[in-house]
Amino acid sequence: MASKPATMDFEGKVVLVTGASAGIGEAIALLFARRGAKLALVGRNESALRAVAERCRASGRDALPLVADLATDAGCENVAKLTLEHFGRLDVLVNNAGVGARTTLEKTDMEIFDQVFALNVRAVYNLTRLLAPALVATRGNVVNISSIAGSTTYVGCLPYSMSKAALDHFTNLTALELAPKGVRVNTVSPGLTASTFVQRLTGYTDEEYAAWLQQSERGIPLGRACAGHDVAAMVAHLASDASALVTGVNVPVDGGLRFNVVATDLVKKQVK
């Protein structure tokens, strides 16, 4: 029997994207909307989140904005409950929400560590746990947004890098656990990304950030920083039928930066 041709169309599918109010999450949401998906969008900035939802609706798609703090149990539980109540199903979970921290072992404190792990690891674990039955029912899939920081070593992002390494292993473990039930789990790892997320971490002004980004791009083999649409394209590919036999993989979207990472290139400002 001939198999059906692979498709990257999400017509009739329901996709949940966390951290959807800006940056990579916004780009992911808009791409899925253009490809036919109905969307549950999670974020903490209500006005920005609703603006993204309106842009998704402009593509003729249902978009449900859910304001929540996923670092709390109540936040995860409400997102799972409201998504399933509204749509009645879930086909793709994109765990994109995250927080960064520029610090070192000698300069950090446990509050920073707890904040990073609460959102970057615990929230992903909790939300995926809550929605796994719905994904099993649709033979859906999960795409986690990690970072090359999880698999490369440089000074200045200790708890963040640790959290992304944990997320990478979470992908491997859950991919193996859920494969017999028809659910795939994969990771996309951006490299240096042009975003307000990164600018907030550096503390640079717009002019300083533009200069820093231009300098940093010289160390990227393909010559430019990652953009939200680069990550979104890979997420959609992994979530689609075109990747029906792909699970437990970690795909870097970094222009080759992981081959050139050294502390002096990426950390030019003393961490706080």
Q: Give catalytic residue positions.
A: 160
| CA–CA gap between residue 25 and residue 227 (Å, rounded) | 11
14: left (phi over 0), alpha (psi -120 to 50) or beta: beta
Q: Answer whether 197's CB lies under 8 Å from 149's CB.
A: no
